[in-house]
Structure formats: C-alpha cells, structure tokens
Amino acid sequence: MISTKKSLLNMRFYFYRLLIPICIGCLAACSPKENPENAQAETQPESQEVKITLAPVDSPEFPDSGLEMLSPEEEATLPAGNVTFAYEVKNYQLGTQTLDADIKQCANSAKGQHIHLILNNQPYSAHYTANFEKTLEPGHYVALSFISRSYHESLKQYGAYNLRQFTVGDAPATEMDLTAPHMFYSRPKGEYKGADAKKILLDFYLINTDLAADGNKVRATINGETFMIDSWKPYFMEGLPMGENNVKLELLDNQGNAIPGPYNAVERTFTLTADTV
C-alpha cells in the first residue's frame, strides 16, 4: 500500500515538472513582444476628422446708426486716379472698439470700428475715417459701403449701408440694376494666425432681399461641405484645418435655383496659420 502511494506521488511530481515549463511557454507566447512597433501602436491615438460647424453670432445692436455716402455721387463720371470718398456717419463712432470685442475670440481690428468699402464685389478695404482717397483705374464701379463692428461684422439694418455706381475715366457705363436682389461677399478674407484662426467670421451683405425657411436662401459650401442658410446673420466657422480653405456662397430662390446677378455666386480662399511667428 505504501509503495502504491509513493508511486502515485512520484507520478504527480513528474507531471508537475512537465506542466510548469509548458505553462510558462504559453504565457510567453501570449504576451506582447517588446518592440518599437508595438510601443508606437499603443501610444498613438486614433486620428479623428474634425467636423466643420457653422453657428450664428449674437452681437451688440446699433439700431439708430446710419451711413450716408456724400461722394462720389450716383452715376458720376470721375477722372482716373485719386477718387475722394466721403460719408456722414450717424450715431456710430469710428475708430473705437465694439463693446464685446474682447470676448468675441475672433479676428479683431486694433484700429476699431470702421467702414467696409466693396468695389465690384472685390475684397473690401477698411476705413477708419469718414473721408479718404482711393486710386482707381478707368472703369465702371458698383460701390457698396456699410459700417462695421471692430471685428469686421457688418451692421445689417436699413440705413447702415449705401449702394451706388459711378464711372472712372474713359470707360463705358455698363450700369447694373440696383433694384434687383444682390449679394456681396465680405468675410472671411486673407490670412488668420494663431488664436484668430480658431473662429472665422462668415459675413455677407444682402440688397433688396432677405432670407427665410420658405424663401430665398444662401448656400455656403465650405471646403466641399454644404450648409443652407435661411437667416441673414453673421456666422462663426469652426473646425477648419490649417492651411488654405475655400468658401463659396450662392444666392438661391425658394426653389433652390440661382438668382441672377453679377455677384450672387462668389468663391474665395483664405488661409489659417497655427503660429503667430
């Protein structure tokens, strides 16, 4: 009997001696190998595509403010060269910061509130006084002027803008119907750096029309992504990549058809830069 028990103990001993190396081998095989590729895979986060968002902007209102253009006069013919622009600004102070400029977290002009002048829907020029000169080549000009907050957001109420046309030098007066619906492009423009590149203002100006859910709309295509805008407001674009970006605006009727007009479809590029070097 004792011999039998010893035999059984010996068999268990040999069995465990065989089993232990096998288990150790299995554990080694199942453990991840220590190599640079595995380390990199464990520490590298998954890349996620940032979605572009478009959100309306609320800003201080200036309901009593107005802008009257004194010169050039409507349908004037002027000599080529330096052209004088003169305005009367009502209940609005040029050259000061808009009340919420320090919390807006977007590009803001250190020179303060100003006038945007858009000629033939080309990129605007900003002016901080009510009188200035611009050198113009011969041609026919459609001039949209409106008063702007210090962060380049337009005032959109009636009386805050002026639209007129004039001719410079020896050029044909190819007049535009100023009573038709028109859209003018304002922002974004140029290059945005550092903190200014996080929130980009999208702003445009409508003449003789408005937007509604059951009416006219603006189709904004931003880097290929489409947004339908049915309320005439400024908007902040976020989630844009660094580098060159593209925005296209189209004024559409309530059936989704393009509204005829020389400026009712426009496409622009602008650049975002991460550092302010």
pLDDT of residue 50: 75
Query: Class of the 53-273 domain?
Result: mainly beta
Give which of 55, 118, 149 is closest to 268, Cα–Cα.
118
d(CA 95, CA 77) in angstroms, rounded, equals 31
- The distance from CA 45 to its chain's CA centroid, rounded to whole angstroms, is 28
Question: Do 119 and 100 touch, CB atoms closer than 8 A?
Answer: no
For tokens 């203002």, the residue is 201
Residue 225 tokens read as 């992504």
Predicted pLDDT at 173 = 77
Give the chain as a 3 state SS string.
CHHHHHHHHHHHHHHHHHHHHHHHHHHHHHCCCCCHHHHHHHHCCCCCCCCCEEEECCCCCCCCCEEEEEECCCCCEECCEEEEEEEEEECCCCCCCCCCHHHCCCCCCCCCCEEEEEECCCCCEEECCCEEEEEECCEEEEEEEEEECCCCCECCCCCCEEEEEEEECCCCCCCCCCCCCEEEEEECCCEEEHHHHCCEEEEEEEECCCCCCCCCEEEEEECCEEEEECCCCCEEEECCCCEEEEEEEEEECCCCCECCCCCCEEEEEEEEECCCC
Name the residue ranges covered by the structural domains of the chain: 53-273
pLDDT 10s digit of each residue in the chain, 277 long?
434 444 433 444 344 444 444 433 443 444 444 333 333 333 334 445 679 999 999 999 999 999 999 999 999 999 999 999 999 999 999 999 999 999 999 999 999 999 999 999 999 999 999 999 999 999 999 999 999 999 999 999 999 999 999 999 999 878 899 999 999 999 999 999 999 999 999 999 999 999 999 999 999 999 999 999 999 999 999 999 999 999 999 999 999 999 999 999 999 999 999 975 5
